[in-house]
Amino acid sequence: MALKKIKQISKGHKQIDFEKRIFVGLTCTSSRRKKEHWRDQLREINKLGIKEISFFPTTLNPSERPVVYRELEKSCVKTIKLVHIRGQDFTKKEMDYFFNRFNTRLFNCHEHEFDMLYKKFQSYRKHFVLELNYDGVIENKLEPNKMNGFCIDFSHIYSAKERHKMEWDYMVGHLKDTKFHANHLNGYTKRRKRDLHFVTNKNQFNYLTKLPACIFSKVIGMELENTISKQLEFKKYIVKILNRKFKN
């Protein structure tokens, strides 16, 4: 039944130009690199003159984030398409900063923060998108369409599918009543059936071709610890395989 529903919805999906939808990521995760690797990434962004990015300050505490903000102020970045906020301590002032300074219109959060942020940031409800995990537990009580829908992390949802976790069915159950406004893009390891924030082989993106077209949004942020030049190299490969896969 789930497969039939996906095929029905994806069938009428318009041709996607992935080149214009995928944005390099300024990241602060530390699966393979120290979280300070964002400094090197930002230097590359400036060197290459990249104006639009996605931003993942997820691991930075309130005293660390202003350091990044000061460097962003001095950078060539004009627009941050997606910010992955840290819900437990993000402030209204920070939300306003990204909204006004970098024209950010999409902020994603995790399941366990969704209900709390609905109450905390009422003026930003139409800009929050929900990211699902793959642990077999749906922690939000509010439906995603109570805010701005989904930010589907591709590797998370594929891991949920392969592990037979409920997040996959939860997403499928909301295909018709919920918008898909953003995505996280990272690698996937078939052996461990989990996401990768540091990718060593372009084939670790091949799982993307097994996902339905209807969950791909107009804003896809690369949540990778890899260098920006490597992200751009991966992007070329990803655009190639996805444009070929979803060509009408």
Length of the chain: 248
pLDDT tens, position by position, for the chain (248 residues)?
455 556 555 555 667 789 999 999 999 988 888 889 999 999 999 999 999 999 999 999 999 999 999 999 999 999 999 999 999 999 999 999 999 999 999 999 999 999 999 999 999 999 999 999 999 999 999 999 999 999 999 999 999 999 999 999 999 999 999 999 999 999 999 999 999 999 999 999 999 999 999 999 999 999 999 999 999 999 999 999 999 998 86
> What is the rounded CA–CA span in Å between residue 82 and residue 103?
10
- Which domain, by its residues, includes 55? 2-6+23-133+140-245
Four-CA torsion 70, 75, 78, 84, nearest 10 degrees: -50
Residue 17, in any domain of the structure: no
Q: What is the reported pLDDT for 10?
A: 59
Residue 15, in any domain of the structure: no
Number of domains in the chain: 1
Residue 14, in any domain of the structure: no
* Residue that the structure tokens 């530390």 belong to: 30
Residue 12, in any domain of the structure: no
Listed in sequence order, the DSSP H helices in the chain are 2-11, 38-48, 65-73, 92-101, 111-120, 154-162, 166-173, 228-245
Cα distances (Å, whole numbers) of residue 177 to 138, 146, 169, 171, 218: 17, 11, 14, 10, 18
Residue 234, in any domain of the structure: yes
User: What is the pTM for the complete model shown?
Assistant: 0.94
Q: What is the CATH number of the domain that holds 38?
A: 3.20.20
